[in-house]
Structure formats: structure tokens, C-alpha cells
């Protein structure tokens, strides 16, 4: 006798599990805890098997009968519905494991160890916000160049041209990782070269002519602001580190005996060593009585528990007549790179090391940050002497 909805709803749990039969092997299993599960019992190749068809009331009586009829047709055709379900599940799991999102996650987890935590977080946020909502669920092997381009166009259209180019690079790396791990045969991003609007390259302004550098040095030493800001301004060209690294300098990172400043690079999280010239040490010793008891060499004017504001040195340069179109705090790096090469004839790899850039040898291995330290100490002292000579020569 066929089941009715009224019968299903009126039957109460008992001391034992109950089967409410609907015929043809279909029944509702009512457990002692009140759970109601649809089941289909059948024989396949001489073996008794049971197929789960869902939970009532999520699966209604009508739906259960439809699933039941489909399963019976499969059995009649010589197909085991249980085995077919397992195959489909396995197939869906394979597809999920080979989706763009899954491969991107796998690539990122393997690559992030070479980046600082902050830099890695920034990369993943870009991918998560601008790529995964549209490509994350797509099987990697099905993604075509126009599809990637359409996603990148969304970023491009909001004016983030450089971000769109970076995302194209990340996508290319993810696809190439897919090639390396056997998921796909080629990288579709290679066909997108030239498809995005070019980035309008802008170089941060920097003074690089010796006579102009001489005037800049004299101007910095004539600054009449606070000792903290004056010391930071005068130290900036001597160490030519990134502005954020200068303003966040900590006293515990200064090694007076070795005459070195050691800290982690913001981009890679690797250790960087700045040899300190006689002039740099003199500036630090001058400001030490004022800020040495605190954490930061150049603390904020609003509270010494945090570093100097990122706008402080830029504002000081502007007050001295050097706005962003003439020279920037970051420009001290370009100034050093140019003059150490053109005027002092130091080897490019030494300069690049000191700038905190990745430098590789002929075999493609990244140099250790501690290599060439004696030569870098000599370079930094000669650089400081050169700047001092420019400032004093009239």
C-alpha cells in the first residue's frame, strides 16, 4: 500500500526503528530519535544494496518517488545507482580540487613563505577580491584567455591599471603552477600580452646631479625644525632605505659595535643590513639622549609609542622647497643608486644589495644578505664622505 503524507506525519517514533513502505523497495526509515530517511533497497548482480534518497521533509514524498523511479530505471539498464553516485562524487571532488580557486590557494600556500606576512596578505587580498569571485569555481582547464581578460577589465575600468597588470602576473603564475602540477597543458595568460592598457610609468622625483645634490645636502643641514625630524632628514641620504623603514627604525636594531643597523625588509621579510658610516653614527648618537629610552629612533610627535608619521619627512622637504616634483624621501634611493655607480664607480651588485633588492649570481641563486659586508661598509663610508664633501665645497 502506497504511503500518504498524513501517514508519514502521524507516525510517531517507537522503541525500534520503523519502515514505512511505499512499494518497489522504497521506504521511509523512521528512527527512534524521530529522524526520517528515504531509502531504496534493490538487488544488483545478485547483491542486496541500499541507496539513500534524502531526508524528509527536505525531500518530499513526490521527490522521493521521482528519485526512486530514476534509480529503478538505472538498475533495469544494468547500472548500479550507488556506484554511479560514488563516481559522480569522486568526479566533483576532482573538479573542485582542480578549480582555479583550489590551485590558486595551493600556489599561494607554497609561495607565501618567501614573502613577509604583510606582503603575502596584500597579494592574497587582491586575488580574493578581484579574481576568485569570477574564476574561483571554474575548472582550471576550462578557463580561456577572454574570460581572464574580462575579469581584469573590471579592475582596469575602475582606474586601477597597475593592479590589473599585477593580477595578470599572479594569474599567469597560478596557471603555470597548474601546468607544472599536470592540471593543464598551457598558460592562457601568455595570450593576453598587450591586452591591458599600459601603466603610465611615474618615477618618484629625485635629485641626481652632483651640483644639485650639494645644494640639497646644504639645505638639509640648514633645517631648523625639531631635532628628531632634522636627524631623520640628514640620515635619509646616508642610509637610503625605504621611507617606511627609516621612520620605523628601532633602537634595539642598532649594533654600535659592528656599526650596523639590522632589520627585516618590508617586502620580503628577509634580514637587511645597513652598514653605518661615521656620519650616520654621529647623527644617531646626537638623537639618542632624546629618544634612546623609547622603542623608536624617530618617534611620533603625538606619542613616542609609535613611529614618526609617514608624512612628516615629506612635509619637511616641502618646507625646504623640495616638493614631490623635485625630490622625495624615496628619491634618496635613486640618488644613491645613480651616484654610487656614475660618480663613485661601485659595482652594481653591491649597490643593489644595499638597496635591499634581490641579487642573483650566475647560477640563479639569491645572494645571502650578509655577503660582501666589508665591501658594503667601505661603500657606505665613501658615500657619506662624498656627500659631506659636496656639502662643504663651495
Residues with catalytic function: 242, 267, 330, 333, 357, 367
Q: Which three cell numbers stand for residue 113?
A: 613563505
* pLDDT class of 223 with cuts at 50, 70, 90: very high
Q: 219 exposed, middle or buried (CB, 10 Å; 0-12, 13-18, 19+)?
A: middle
265 secondary structure, DSSP code: -
43-93 per-position pLDDT tens digit = 888 889 888 888 998 888 898 898 898 888 888 888 888 877 877 765 555
- Mean pLDDT along residues 112-127: 84
3-state SS class at 53: strand
Q: Among residues 306, 262, 260, 278, which one has the least CA distance to residue 384?
A: 278
Identify which has the larger pLDDT, 48 or 325.
48
Domain boundaries, the chain: 5-84, 100-192, 210-392
Rg (the chain; Cα; Å): 34
pTM of the entire predicted model: 0.53
Identify which has the larger pLDDT, 319 or 113.
319
Provide CATH code, domain 5-84. Answer: 3.30.160.390
Does the domain at residues 100-192 carry the CATH identifier 1.10.150.130? yes
Superfamily of 210-392 according to CATH: Intergrase catalytic core (1.10.443.10)
Q: Which three cell numbers stand for residue 43?
A: 538487488
3-state SS class at 366: strand
Amino acid at each position: 500500500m502506497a504511503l500518504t503524507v498524513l501517514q508519514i506525519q502521524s507516525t510517531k517514533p517507537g522503541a525500534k526503528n520503523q519502515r514505512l513502505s511505499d512499494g518497489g523497495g522504497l521506504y521511509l526509515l523512521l528512527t527512534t530519535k524521530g529522524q526520517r530517511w528515504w531509502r531504496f533497497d534493490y538487488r544488483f548482480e545478485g547483491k542486496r544494496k541500499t541507496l539513500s534518497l534524502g531526508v524528509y521533509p527536505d525531500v518530499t514524498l513526490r521527490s522521493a518517488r521521482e528519485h526512486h523511479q530514476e534509480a529503478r530505471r538505472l538498475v533495469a539498464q544494468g547500472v548500479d545507482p550507488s556506484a554511479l553516485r560514488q563516481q559522480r562524487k569522486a568526479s566533483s571532488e576532482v573538479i573542485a580540487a582542480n578549480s582555479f580557486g583550489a590551485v590558486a590557494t595551493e600556489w599561494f600556500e607554497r609561495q607565501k613563505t618567501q614573502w613577509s606576512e604583510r606582503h603575502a596578505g596584500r597579494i592574497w587580498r587582491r586575488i580574493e577580491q578581484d579574481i576568485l569571485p569570477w574564476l574561483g569555481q571554474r575548472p582550471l582547464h576550462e578557463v580561456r584567455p577572454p574570460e581572464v581578460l574580462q575579469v581584469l577589465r573590471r579592475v582596469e575600468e575602475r582606474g586601477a591599471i597597475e593592479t590589473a597588470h599585477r593580477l595578470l602576473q599572479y594569474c599567469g603564475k597560478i596557471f603555470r603552477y597548474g601546468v607544472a602540477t599536470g592540471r593543464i597543458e598551457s598558460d592562457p595568460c601568455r595570450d593576453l600580452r598587450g591586452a591591458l592598457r599600459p601603466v603610465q610609468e611615474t618615477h618618484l622625483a629625485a635629485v641626481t646631479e652632483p651640483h644639485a645634490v650639494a645644494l640639497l645636502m646644504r639645505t638639509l643641514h640648514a633645517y631648523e625644525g625639531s631635532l628628531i625630524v632634522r636627524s631623520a632628514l640628514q640620515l635619509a641620504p646616508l642610509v637610503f632605505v625605504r621611507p617606511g623603514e627609516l621612520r620605523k627604525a628601532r633602537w634595539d636594531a642598532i649594533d654600535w659595535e659592528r656599526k650596523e643597523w639590522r632589520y627585516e625588509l618590508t617586502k620580503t621579510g628577509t634580514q637587511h643590513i645597513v652598514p653605518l658610516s661615521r656620519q650616520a653614527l654621529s647623527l644617531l648618537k646626537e638623537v639618542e639622549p632624546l629618544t634612546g629610552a623609547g622603542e623608536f629612533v624617530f618617534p611620533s610627535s603625538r606619542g613616542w609609542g609609535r613611529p614618526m608619521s609617514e608624512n612628516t619627512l615629506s612635509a619637511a622637504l616641502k618646507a625646504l622647497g623640495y616638493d614631490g616634483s623635485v625630490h622625495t624621501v624615496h628619491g634618496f634611493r635613486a640618488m644613491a643608486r645613480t651616484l654610487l655607480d656614475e660618480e663613485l664607480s661601485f659595482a652594481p651588485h653591491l649597490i643593489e644589495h644595499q638597496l635591499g633588492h634581490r641579487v642573483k649570481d650566475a647560477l640563479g641563486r639569491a645572494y645571502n644578505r650578509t655577503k660582501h659586508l666589508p665591501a658594503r661598509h667601505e661603500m657606505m663610508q665613501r658615500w657619506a664622505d662624498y656627500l659631506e664633501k659636496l656639502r662643504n665645497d663651495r
